[in-house]
Amino acid sequence: MPGKVWFVGAGPGDPDLITVKGRNVLERAGAILYAGSLVDRAATRYAPFGCEIRDSKEMTLEEITAWLIDRAEHHAHVVRLQTGDPGLYGALIEMTRPLTAAGVAWSVVPGVSSAMASMAAAGETLTLPEVTQTVILTRVAGRTPMPPGEDLEALAAHHCTLCIYLSITLLHEVQRALRAAGWPEDAPMLVVQKASWPGQEKIVRGTLADIKRKCQEEKIGSQAMIVASPTLGAADWPSLVRSKLYDPTFTHRFRKAEHSEVTYD
Binding site for ligand SAH (CB under 6 A): 12-13, 38, 83-85, 88-90, 113-114, 117-118, 165-166, 192, 194-197, 223-225
Residue 51 contacts residue 29 (beta carbons within 8 Å): yes
Question: 13: alpha, beta or left, given left = phi > 0 and alpha = psi -120 to 50?
Answer: left
Q: Which is nearer to ligand SAH, 3 or 90 (CB)?
A: 90
First to last CA, the chain: 46
CA–CA separation, 47 and 109 (whole Å): 16
Q: Which is nearer to ligand SAH, 47 or 227 (CB)?
A: 227
Q: Which is nearer to ligand SAH, 100 or 200 (CB)?
A: 200
Which residue minimizes CB distance to ligand SAH? 84
Query: What's the closest the beta carbon of residue 185 comes to ligand SAH, in angstroms?
Result: 24
Q: Which is nearer to ligand SAH, 193 or 251 (CB)?
A: 193
Task: Supply angle C-alpha 97, 101, 102, rounded to 5.
Answer: 120
List Cβ<8 Å contacts ≥24 apart for 254-259. Answer: none
Query: What's the closest the beta carbon of residue 220 comes to ligand SAH, in angstroms?
Result: 10
Query: What's the closest the beta carbon of residue 113 comes to ligand SAH, in angstroms?
Result: 3
Q: How many CB atoms lie within 10 A of CB 236?
A: 5
Query: What's the closest the beta carbon of residue 162 comes to ligand SAH, in angstroms?
Result: 12
